[in-house]
Structure 1
Amino acid sequence: MIWVAALLIAAPASAQVLNAEQADAIVKGCAAHARAKGQGHAIAVVDLGGHPVAIWRMDGNAFGMMDFSLAKARAVAAWGFATSGMEEAVKGTPGFADAPHVVTVPGGVPIFSADGRTRLGGVGASGEAPADDAACAAAGIAAAGLKSERAR
């Protein structure tokens, strides 16, 4: 029991983590964006460990779309950059295609804190054209008051 307390004490007080309220806002923002375009997505929001924090399948998704959105979100959580960049990374990095959690289809977008300094997790959207999936994920992140890119 002492080691658990030590781990909790060792975590900085300023550490930011993705919470359920933020994940819910991301899902709702993505869904609102999709509805405005007459689209439907399967949406997955995960923390940095790839654990689902919120998932939602909008009406009209085919079998497998939720699994694909979760794979996109977990890829982003694992690697720290959007799945839209993974296709190029596969071409330029020998062995990357065989690494775990690599998805080369747009629709996975990283979540950063409101100031853009801390990576919190990833969003995956699937069910529409890849560019629309990515736009949905980014719109959800923005609706939650968070960033989809690291501050420079």
Structure 2
Amino acid sequence: MHSKAVLTQTEVTLLLAAARAQAQANQWAVSIAIVDDGGHPLALERLDGCAPISAYIATEKARTAALGRRESKAYEDMINGGRTAFLSVPVLSGTLEGGVPVIVDGQVVGAVGVSGVKAEQDALVAKAAVAAL
């Protein structure tokens, strides 16, 4: 039997705070979602001025990164590269840049998803969160 780390509220709070700090430092109104390794929501924060749809998109980006065990951008790149059949994959609906897995000791324990600004800026905020852990 294998053992692996799990995200607790301590880590979730740290991830959320780091993402918020990065977004606010750039004056970006974003939504930040944190999920566990099964893509289940642990936290969601929509910063002032961010469009309501971004909360849903951020959650789906995080879910995609957690379940796929890779950045959501990988799926966007596949689709943009011509593999459009990938759009029909069940469950993964956040196939846009901005979802980043949280990896501890080589295992995905969750993910951070961000939405609200340009895709590469969303990813920058998510990566800042993961780097803080």
TM-score greater than 0.5 by the shorter chain: yes
Residue 98 of structure 1 is aligned with which of 88, 97, 105?
88
Residue 79 of structure 1 is aligned with which of 68, 75, 89?
68
* Displacement of 1:94: 6.4
Q: Secondary structure at the match of 1:105?
A: coil
Q: Equivalent pairs: percent with the same residue?
A: 34
Q: Secondary structure at the match of 1:96?
A: helix
Q: Secondary structure at the match of 2:4?
A: coil
Deviations 1:74-96 (A, max 9, x none): 11111111111112223465632
The aligned counterpart of 1:134 is 123
Q: Map 1:41-56 onto structure 2 (within 5 A).
A: 41-56=30-45
Tell me how far apart the structure 1 counterparts of residues 108 and 46 of structure 2 sit (CA, whole Å).
Answer: 25
TM-score normalised by length of structure 1: 0.79
Which residue identity does 1:97 align to in structure 2? L
* Number of aligned residue pairs: 131
Matched, 1:19 2:8: yes
Q: Which protein is bigger by CA-based radius of gyration?
A: 1
Matched, 1:108 2:110: no
Q: CA RMSD in A?
A: 1.6
Which residue identity does 1:127 align to in structure 2? G
TM-score normalised by length of structure 2: 0.89
Which residue identity does 2:34 align to in structure 1? V
* Displacement of 1:56: 0.8
Gaps of 5+ in 2: none
Aligned 8 A contact 2:114 2:125 in 1: yes
Tell me how far apart the structure 1 counterparts of residues 50 and 58 of structure 2 sit (CA, whole Å).
Answer: 11
Residue 25 of structure 2 is aligned with which of 24, 36, 51?
36
Gaps of 5+ in 1: 1-9, 146-152
